[in-house]
Structure formats: C-alpha cells, structure tokens
C-alpha cells in the first residue's frame, strides 16, 4: 500500500437490526485530499464516517488508516483490544455534530487532555501545540474560558483544535455545522477551508453544498448505503451522471 493513501476502505458493509446501511463501500482518500460525502439523511453517510474510527463496528470489509488496519489485528485476524484500538484511533481526529467539548475542562485543557494522557506528551509541549492550534482556529483569546461560556460556533472551533492536537493523519467531520445557529455556520466553515488550504487530509459529511463545492477534491454521493457517484466537485455539481443526484441537487436549491 502506498504511503500517499491516508484512508483506504474496502468492501465495507454494515447493518442495523437487519437493515443494511452500508453495502460494499470502497473509498480511498489520499494524503492532502479533501473528500466530501453527500447524501440525503439515512443514506448511511454518518455511519460510514463513524466506521472509519471504529465508533461503529462494520460487519464486513476493512479499513486502513495510513496503512494500518483498524479494529482487526492483521496478524491474528482477531478483534483488537481496547488498548490497541485506541492507538489506531489516535491517528484520526473527529469533530462531531453535537457540541461535545468536555465541560469540566477549560478550552486550553480540552485541547491538551489527549496529547498528555494518550500520547504522553509533556504539559509544556502540549500547551505550546495547543496555543498554536487555538491561534489557527481563532480561539486563543478564550484559552482559560470554560465551554459553557462559549457560543456554538466557538465550541466547534475548539473541538476542531482538540482533534488537530492529536496530529492525526486524517480529520473526520460529521456534520460539524448542523447543530449551529445559521449565523454561526460561517465561522466554522472558514476554519475548515483554511485547514484544507494547509493540506490537511479530511473526510467531511455535510449538508452545506456551496462549502462542499469550494473545499472538496472529490465528492462522493451515498444512496441507500451504496456509493452511486464519485467525481471532482466541478463535474458533480454541474454535470451529475445520475438522475438521483440531479434530483438531490435540485432539492438543495
């Protein structure tokens, strides 16, 4: 497997209570690439994203992060222990739809918590990195505030810094603006755009079409658990190949 592939998904399937939500999904994300997953609600896009870091355990198929298989130990074929799993998970960073900063920690400590207690970094090193990242998402001035004092957009920007602090090989965004008031969406999307310009590898599930068009290198469309279309954004948004996507795009406008 080449060094350039950040995430490689092979024949991934998953059902909930007999209903198949993902069927034989193949997806490759190269380093530095931004892939956006689109689809109507219930199409399985969040499940796909949550499988990448094993928050959902798929029924079949494999996922490699930077060449390392997640969830299953390659050598023995057994499920990974929680400890081994945590190690691979640490190579991904995830931003959720729900605003779930840890409320008992200040902004700075939300960002330093995992580097110190998972990666074993020194406090000084972790704080230096955290300040750099908080600067990047424009939240450095709030470093000593507690989450309850922040707006939704600010919380989400800190959550991005928290995920970046693990220096992940890929960033996963699960509808990061869906829980926000409309006027707060922009500030979060701007931060994500900046990250893409800096060359971060990202997989994004979103409903913001203009944003997806501007930020993606590759757009993937999921329908009933199957990828029915993948293209560069220009093609996807102007000349969709399937009728299903045409109807989807019409409804968005």
Partner 1 sequence: MDANAWSMLLEGAWTTLWISAVSIAIGVTAGLAIALIRLARLPVIEQLLVTYISLARATPLVTLTLFIFLTLPTFGINMDRSVAGIMALTLNTTAFNAEIWRAAFQNFSRDQREAALACGMTPTVCFRRIMLPQMVITSLPGLVNEMSFLIKGSPAIAVIGIVDLTRVTNRISAVTYEPLPPILAAAALYMAIIGCLVWTQRIAERKANRLAM
The site for partner 1 (CB under 8 A) is made up of 53, 55, 82-83, 86-87, 89-94, 96, 98, 100, 102-104, 113-114, 117-119, 146, 148, 159, 162-163, 166, 172
Number of C-beta neighbours around residue 155 at 10 A: 24
To partner 1, the closest distance from the beta carbon of 137 in angstroms equals: 16
CB closer to partner 1, 99 vs 231: 99
Cβ nearer to partner 1, comparing 36 with 110:
110
Q: How far apart are CA 241 and CA 113, in angstroms?
A: 46
CB of 71 to partner 1, least distance (A): 13
Q: Which of 5, 44, 63 is nearest to 220 (CA)?
A: 44
Distance separating alpha carbons of residues 240 and 253, to the nearest angstrom: 15
CB 67 within 8 A of CB 145: no
Between 164 and 189, name the residue whose CB sits nearer to partner 1. Answer: 164
Smallest distance, partner 1 to C-beta of residue 70, A: 11
For partner 1, give the closer residue by CB, 50 or 231.
50
Q: Show the beta-strand stretches assigned E in 104-216.
A: 170-174, 202-205
Nearer to partner 1, 118 or 131 (CB): 118
Residue 135 Cβ, how far from partner 1 at the closest point, in Å? 20
With 0-12 / 13-18 / 19 or more C-beta atoms within 10 angstroms meaning exposed / middle / buried, residue 203 is buried
Query: Of 54, 46, 101, whose CA–CA distance to 73 is shortest?
Result: 54
Question: Shortest approach of partner 1 to residue 24 CB, angstroms?
Answer: 25
In angstroms, give the least distance from the CB of 109 to partner 1. 10
Partners of 28 in beta bridges: 8
Distance CA 239, CA 217 (A): 16
Its sign, for the CA torsion 206, 207, 208, 210, is positive
Nearer to partner 1, 37 or 159 (CB): 159
**How far, in Å, are 5, 49, 252 from residue 163 at the CA level?**
20, 15, 30
Question: Smallest gap, in angstroms, from Cβ of residue 192 to partner 1?
Answer: 17
Which residue, 5 or 179, is less far from partner 1 as judged by CB? Answer: 179
């Amino acid at each position: 497997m080449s060094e350039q592939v950040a995430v490689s998904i092979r024949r991934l399937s998953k059902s909930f209570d007999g209903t198949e939500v993902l069927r034989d999904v193949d997806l490759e994300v190269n380093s530095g690439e931004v892939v956006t997953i689109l689809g109507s609600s219930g199409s399985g896009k969040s499940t796909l994203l949550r499988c990448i870091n094993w928050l959902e355990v798929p029924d079949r198929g494999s996922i490699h992060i930077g060449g390392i298989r997640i969830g299953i130990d390659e050598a023995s074929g057994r499920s990974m222990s929680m400890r081994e799993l945590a190690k691979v998970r640490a190579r991904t960073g995830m931003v959720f739809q729900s605003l779930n900063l840890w409320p008992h920690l200040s902004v700075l400590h939300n960002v330093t918590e995992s580097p110190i207690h998972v990666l074993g970094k020194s406090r000084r090193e972790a704080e230096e990195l955290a300040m750099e990242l908080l600067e990047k998402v424009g939240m450095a001035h709030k470093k000593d505030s507690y989450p309850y004092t922040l707006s939704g957009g600010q919380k989400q920007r800190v959550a991005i810094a928290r995920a970046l602090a693990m220096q992940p090989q890929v960033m996963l965004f699960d509808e990061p603006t869906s829980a926000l008031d409309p006027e707060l969406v922009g500030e979060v999307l701007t931060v994500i755009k900046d990250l893409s310009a800096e060359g971060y590898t990202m997989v994004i599930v979103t409903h913001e079409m203009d944003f997806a068009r501007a930020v993606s290198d590759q757009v993937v469309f999921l329908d009933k658990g199957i990828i029915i279309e993948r293209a560069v954004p220009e093609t996807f948004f102007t000349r969709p190949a399937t009728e299903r996507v045409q109807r989807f795009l019409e409804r968005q406008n």
